[in-house]
Amino acid sequence: MAIIASAPGKVLMTGGYLILERPNAGLVLSTNSRFYAIVKPIHDHLQPHSWAWAWTDVKLTSPQLSRESTYKLSLKSPKLQSISSRESGNPFVEQAVQYAVAAAQAVSVDEDKKDMLHKLLLQGLDITILGSNDFYSYRNQIEALGLPLTPESLASLPSFSSITLNAEESREHHSKPEVAKTGLGSSAAMTTAVVAALLQYLGVVHLPLSTQALYPDKDDADLDLVHVVAQSAHCIAQGKVGSGFDVSAAVYGSQRYVRFSPGVLSSAQVAVSWKLLQEVITDVLNEKWDHEKTKFCLPPLMTLVLGEPGTGGSSTPSMVGSVKKWQVSEPQKSLDLWRKLSEANSALEAQLKLLSKFAEEQWETYKCVICSCGGLGYKQ
């Protein structure tokens, strides 16, 4: 039995930098580009004497990077031990596996469920991850094919094409080659997809089959569990507690988002070696998660289109660090600018809501105006 789960990427329309601090809100759109995780057993049947095993097998495959990693997973405290090259590892997927298995063990209190979970783990975990092409830059491949840099050229590439590395730029900076990404939140979508697939496979959650069933402001205990586990794994993998809007969008879809208090992840951050991961995730699950999410979408007939600006990209942690340094050096100036940005963001949100309301009340007029505007040209 194989389980496939997917999670979308994100675009932060408003709230850049401001969203790092409560109670500032941001408008987050989920994309039609998705990350997929496929989970199935390594062994079709339980191996003889497997009941006495303290470890089980985990295999992680990334076809787009032509990588395969193998691990041993401790069944007592679900920690992974790599038995393949560390260069082929993926910290986001590794943390997703550890935290998802720990959460499954922590919430499975019924003896029958515990027994079923144990048997599933003993069969091993075979995990494959695939990301839509939009998450990565294919500029080099398109140019090598002699094609123009257009959406049509990108769409002509096979789905889940092989991923290129920024090898040339890495040589210039004497660093390890990195995947050329487009900034749609691939690590958050990947982490969320793996967590969701594992929790579904292990029988802990029952997730909706369609994204149409998702509403960010609707209570859903299963999605909430996926959200907390994915946030925990993602924060530990990246080494810091971010705003979490990317993971929230990957779980719930487009929304108006206000971040959680960073303290809810303190147990995971200060976890010590003697504390079982099941205890850590239990503490995190019992925290008061105070993030806010309400349903949001663009007005009808409007589509947000993104473009790749050029080779290379930006480093979010370094950019955030620079902004925070500026805030410390210019406290009053930064407060004034933050206030103006917040007011502008609120004004944009209000106007988008007005357009949606107008479309609902005066559809034909709205449609006529939007179609007329859509037919206008543009000047470079």
Are 258 and 321 members of one domain? no
- What span, in angstroms and rounded, lies between the C-alpha atoms of 281 and 289? 13
Are 283 and 321 members of one domain? no
Kindly state whether residue 199 falls inside one of the protein's structural domains.
Answer: yes
Answer whether residue 97 shows pLDDT above 90: yes
Are 249 and 351 members of one domain? no
Q: What tens digit of pLDDT does each residue of 329-361 get? A: 999 999 999 999 999 999 999 999 999 999 999
For residue 255, the enclosing domain spans: 3-136+181-295
pLDDT value at position 353? 95
Number of domain units in the chain: 2
- What span, in angstroms and rounded, lies between the C-alpha atoms of 347 and 121? 51
Average pLDDT on 135-151 reads: 91
Kindly state whether residue 94 falls inside one of the protein's structural domains.
Answer: yes
Answer whether residue 18 shows pLDDT above 80: yes
Cβ neighbours around 157 below 10 Å, total? 15
Kindly state whether residue 337 falls inside one of the protein's structural domains.
Answer: yes
Alpha helices in 108-202 (DSSP H): 111-122, 139-144, 151-155, 167-172, 186-201
**How confident is residue 170, by pLDDT bands cut at 50, 70 and 90?**
very low
Are 323 and 286 members of one domain? no
- What span, in angstroms and rounded, lies between the C-alpha atoms of 135 and 125? 25
Cβ neighbours around 361 below 10 Å, total? 9
Largest CA distance in the chain: 72
Are 191 and 248 members of one domain? yes
Instruction: Determine contact, residues 164/120, Cβ cutoff 8 Å.
Output: no
- What span, in angstroms and rounded, lies between the C-alpha atoms of 356 and 366? 9
What's the pTM? 0.91
Are 186 and 102 members of one domain? yes
What the block records as the tokens of 306 is: 């993104």
Classify burial at 39, counting beta carbons within 10 Å of its beta carbon; exposed 0-12, middle 13-18, buried 19 or more.
buried
pLDDT value at position 179? 79
